[in-house]
Amino acid sequence: MGALQPGLPNPAMLPQEWPILIIDLKDCFFTIPLHPQNTKPKESHKIFHQNAKGLAREFNIPVNEARAIIKTCPVCSHRNGGQGLVIGV
């Protein structure tokens, strides 16, 4: 049956007459690789930590999209409330 998951009951504790259905969720999702052009802003931010306006200007993406990239960055999300680093830092 695999490893027990936190929050789920132990199958041995369920009454025998109860039906058990096991669903393997890894088969329910598709993994589709992104086009390299869609990953360039995120890769660039991972190295240089530009601010949202700089990312939007450099890669011609909407500012909201650039802000989302910055908010997902583990380094920048702790600084400046997720607004990214200022120019020159």
Q: What is the CATH number of the domain that holds 26?
A: 1.10.10.200
Q: How many domains does the chain have?
A: 1
Domain assignment of residue 66, yes or no: yes
For the stretch 24-57, pLDDT in tens is 766 666 667 777 777 899 999 989 989 999 999 9
Residue 23, domain extent:
11-82
Q: What is the pTM of this model?
A: 0.51
Q: Over pLDDT 70: what percentage of the chain?
A: 66
**pLDDT of amino acid 85:** 47
**pLDDT of amino acid 29:** 63
Measured in Å, how far apart are the chain's first and last C-alpha atoms?
Answer: 52
**pLDDT of amino acid 89:** 44
